[in-house]
Amino acid sequence: MGKSSKDKRDAYYRLAKEQGWRARSAFKLIQLDEHFDLFSGVTRVVDLCAAPGSWSQVLSRILIKGESFGRRAWEEKQAEESEALQDHGEGKDEVGRKDASEEQKGRGGELRPRENVKIVAVDLQPMASLEGITSLKGDITTPSTITRILQALDPDTYVDDAEDSGSHPVDLVLSDGAPDVTGLHDLDIYIQSQLLYSALNLALRILKPGGKFVAKVFRGKDVDLIYAQLRCFFTDVHCAKPRSSRASSLEAFVVCEGFNIPKGYKVDPKRPVGLGAQVPVPERKKKDKESLIDGSQRRTVREDGVSVLEFESDDEEDKNRWIAPFVACGDLSAWDADATYHLPKGRVSLDPVQPPTAPPYKRALELRRQQGGLYGRTSK
Ligand code: SAM
């Protein structure tokens, strides 16, 4: 498929090039942030499976340069306008509701560059450099990667400690990890879940109490077991689908907030969390409203108004399942990732912002060239 047909088929692919993002994934993070206010109070971030680096670009531009995008940029503009109105004595409305500029200040003026920002990006692939980002070439499934991350976060104060150093220095761990998809659905889902667990085990060792974890997940048959395990470590777990993620894809993101190690549980790198691992379930706040949907599912409306579906079953395995509330993020008016758009006549297709530095297919291309092209061997 040529560049320009991809432009037509995928609005986000085109927009990414127009706006200078290395990959269309940037929009997924921006749309997740629009809904969950992910970067509120955040200065230290680890971006796992980061290449080619569009999520790191988002982090760099929001946290280091103090830029804002999408709905955030619109809100900021509104805030500026209402601030200007306030200067003319036209601030709050008559019932005293907060106006946009106050809400903006409520975020601690975070749309300005922040101090002491530390961002570490990790990927199997090398990543072209980005302002303010320390990038490491490494495998997140390898235990030594965590030592390298901790060293990169605090090179001056890091003390080599095989056990948990106890410093817990990170506000947010992101993981957009994806395996090379084989097309065998069950295998792809399984490998994806292993990447998610690797990211989670890493997060358990570096997140601050109250920290956040966001990771790509494929919504397969047993995804509710993963949600249930995440809920043991985070007070809020959502399954979120940004509008820039194709509706036709199984892809979604778990957004986990309020990191908290359950009482009696010790994070042990030798006994990582994975499917089937036993984790004590922390006590939950009293539910204020419950309604039974059928014999096996219970819809609970929590104090904060979020509606949660829980299983009621005599089957031991079913008791381990939990369905995270589903959230669609991104404006409804945003581009549809599954639609094909007609482009204006004479439009020039742009080159990618950052071509891959060492793509895994490079060697295959070299071999093919040596063998005289795609049909070189068979035509002899
Ligand atoms: N978030 C990235 C961005 O915005 O540019 C895109 C990430 S891409 C969808 C998935 C990445 O996962 C690939 O770059 C791949 O190399 C990486 N990956 C897969 N398995 C990995 C592993 N075990 N350790 C580190 N990175 C891994």
CB-based contacts of 35, cutoff 8 Å, min separation 6 = 240, 327, 329, 330
CATH class of 5-67+111-278+317-329: alpha beta
176 labeled part of a ligand binding site: yes
SS3 string, 223-235, reads: HHHHHHHHHHHEE
Residue positions counted in the chain:
380
- Are the C-beta atoms of residues 193 and 230 closer than 8 Å to each other? no
Strand partners, 289: 301
Ligand 1 touching residue 141 (CB < 6 A): yes
- Are the C-beta atoms of residues 76 and 68 closer than 8 Å to each other? yes
Strand partners, 257: 236
Query: How far are the Cα atoms of 10, 19, 182, 225, 236 from residue 23, in angstroms, in the given order?
Result: 12, 10, 21, 31, 29
Ligand 1 touching residue 24 (CB < 6 A): no
pTM here is 0.81
Q: Cis ω on the peptide bond leading into residue 52 (within 30° of 0)? A: yes
Give residue-wise pLDDT tens across range 128-155: 999 999 999 999 999 899 999 999 998 8
Using most ligand atoms within 8 A of CB, pick from 12, 58, 123, 353 the residue to mutate for ligand 1. Answer: 123
55 labeled part of a ligand binding site: yes
Ligand 1 touching residue 123 (CB < 6 A): yes
- Closest ligand 1 atom to residue 179 Cα is 19
Ligand 1 touching residue 51 (CB < 6 A): yes
- Give yes or no: 216 in active site: yes
Strand order in the sheet with 289-292: 289-292, 297-301, 307-311, 322-323
Query: How far are the Cα atoms of 218, 225, 274, 275, 372 from residue 190, in angstroms, in the given order?
Result: 9, 13, 11, 10, 37
d(CA 59, CA 223) in angstroms, rounded, equals 28
Ligand 1 touching residue 39 (CB < 6 A): no
CB-based contacts of 346, cutoff 8 Å, min separation 6 = none
Residue closest by Cα to atom 22 of ligand 1:
139
Q: Which residue among 65, 216, 221, 380 is the active-site one? A: 216
The pLDDT of residue 238 is 96
**Extents of the domains making up the chain:** 5-67+111-278+317-329, 74-107
Q: What DSSP designation does 64 have?
A: I
Q: What is the Å distance from ligand 1's center to 123 Cα? A: 6
ipTM of the complex: 0.99
What is the secondary structure of 270-290 as a DSSP string?
Answer: TS---TT---PPPPPPPPSEE
- Closest ligand 1 atom to residue 141 Cα is 23
Q: What is the Å distance from ligand 1's center to 105 Cα? A: 35
Ligand 1 touching residue 189 (CB < 6 A): no
Give residue-wise pLDDT tens across range 184-227: 888 999 999 999 999 999 999 999 999 999 999 999 888 989 99
CB-based contacts of 371, cutoff 8 Å, min separation 6 = 377
- Scanning the structure block, which residue is given the tokens 């093919």? 368
- Angle 223-233/185-206 helices, nearest 10 degrees? 0
d(CA 37, CA 134) in angstroms, rounded, equals 24
- For the chain, 380 residues long, give each residue's pLDDT as a single digit of tens: 566 666 667 889 888 988 999 999 999 999 999 999 999 999 999 999 999 999 999 999 999 999 887 677 777 777 777 777 776 665 444 444 444 444 444 343 445 788 899 999 999 999 999 999 999 999 999 989 999 999 999 887 776 654 555 566 899 999 999 888 888 888 999 999 999 999 999 999 999 999 999 999 999 888 989 999 999 999 999 999 999 999 888 999 999 999 999 888 889 888 899 877 777 777 665 444 444 444 455 666 666 666 665 655 556 656 667 888 999 998 767 788 888 877 777 777 778 777 767 776 777 778 888 887 665 554 44
Q: What is the Å distance from ligand 1's center to 181 Cα? A: 12
Give residue-wise pLDDT tens across range 68-108: 876 777 777 777 777 777 766 654 444 444 444 444 443 43
